[in-house]
Chains A and B, each alone.
Chain A
């Protein structure tokens, strides 16, 4: 207990409240101002996710290009950076083809059900000190629960297409996310146990006091690796991209999709990747916390940490650090995709059930034992 609550007072930002206050200041009715105060940060997050997806697509295409000794996109935008946006725009005006034999309702509902939980999960991701859409006390549990809805959409898409490739892809998507959800949840559980909180903000706060040394990666190395592997599998990225394995299943569950519906699948894949990266940085790399605690920097530089200028600076630093950490994990995923060969479905299931699950259970018990034994060090 002692050292994690160590040195400095926490500051609290209430962005929604501040916006609401400003809006009432210019003469809007209180209720409307309140709703707008809640809505503005949400719209900012949704737009940021879309921008993030465009950047991730650019990063992926650029890096894969370099790894294969070609350039990747270079024409649209600075160094091809808004190629993703251009592709999205193109897909918006593309014809929507639905096979006559498909089930029209499920076919349309599939991509929607895939993408809604992905966006919804961003609700509890803290981007900085107090910069979270809703700091509900069950944050991490919320993400785990909500994100397991997406595979239903994939299954729906696969089944409704009435296409053999799509059906196999949909079933694989379901099996894969079932198998890796348990190791993922168990590795998160060990972190929850150490911070004795399910709230994402609280988990990051527990990792703040000593900067880089109090990040959970040092105290949860096994959990970290389990989380990385399972998250890669949950996001259906290579080497675990069996649901859409293009060399065997054409495009898996979205074989029959075109136009905007395909774009939704594509968008959700990358939004999910960014979400997983953000989660990894919140759980194991201390979220918004800079390697050296900002209050400590202020102390050495002789600045009062309560001055507005310092507060704004610290908040900006927090967002930057969060994004940089997430970018690191996105980069890792891109690297893995273009380096490692795809596993077979039986290898995938074996890895999940016969290796990761026992190891995750063992890690959980190990953490519990360590908390019993070294409470001041492990028990947040």
Chain B
């Protein structure tokens, strides 16, 4: 199977990609123009990704600036004190502080990287055959050993 780009009906091989690139640089052909999925970037659909990122960034910016225009200003000093259940705040909260979640975060990194490695394996699983299955089995087994180790060491305890 050739390398597949985004939409199933657009599985292009290298020459077709090159053609698509040249057609976008030399002016739009009818076809390239009208499939909005395929317009600006060769990896189809990613022009929409960029535009939607800008649009979703605009949501908080618009909301906050609109509110800035119409809301009342000038809070009193009392309002601007830190909330601590009605009493005067004592001390700062930017102090040295035992982050108990630190061990969880470390174990998380291990397993998150594992998941990232497993994604391409899972997506191509049907074409890979038995060998890839056994390989992934060994890969997961190593990580299960790591999990058991972390567990027995008490890294997953809330103490």
Q: Are B104 and A380 in contact (CB under 8 A)?
A: no
* Stretch of A66-74, A178-186, A333-341 at the chain-chain interface: A178-186
Contacts of B126 in A (CB 8 A): 196, 371, 375, 379-380
Contacts of A263 in B (CB 8 A): 63
A213 at the interface (CB under 8 A from B): no
B122 at the interface (CB under 8 A from A): yes
Minimum CB distance partner of B60 in chain A: A112
A39 at the interface (CB under 8 A from B): yes
| Distance of B3 from chain A, by nearest CB (Å) | 10
Contacts of B111 in A (CB 8 A): 182, 357
| Distance of A186 from chain B, by nearest CB (Å) | 6
| Distance of A216 from chain B, by nearest CB (Å) | 14
Complex alpha-carbon distance, A214 and B97, angstroms: 51
Q: Are B147 and A42 in contact (CB under 8 A)?
A: no
Contacts of B104 in A (CB 8 A): 175, 178-179, 349, 353
Give chain A's interface residues, CB within 8 Å of chain B.
Answer: 12, 14, 16-17, 20-21, 30, 34-35, 37-39, 42-43, 46, 91-102, 108, 111-112, 115-117, 119-120, 123, 133-137, 141, 159, 161-167, 171, 174-175, 178-179, 181-182, 185-186, 189-190, 192-193, 196-199, 202, 250, 255-256, 259-261, 263-264, 345-346, 349-350, 353-354, 357-358, 361, 364-365, 368, 371-372, 375, 379-380
7 pairs of A and B residues whose beta carbons are closest in the complex: A16-B36, A346-B158, A119-B56, A260-B67, A134-B48, A175-B101, A112-B60
A to B CB contacts below 8 Å, 30 in the list: A17-B36, A21-B34, A30-B28, A30-B33, A37-B36, A38-B47, A46-B59, A92-B70, A96-B68, A99-B80, A99-B83, A112-B61, A133-B48, A134-B45, A134-B48, A136-B45, A137-B6, A162-B92, A162-B93, A175-B104, A182-B108, A185-B115, A186-B118, A198-B119, A349-B156, A353-B151, A354-B151, A364-B122, A365-B140, A371-B125
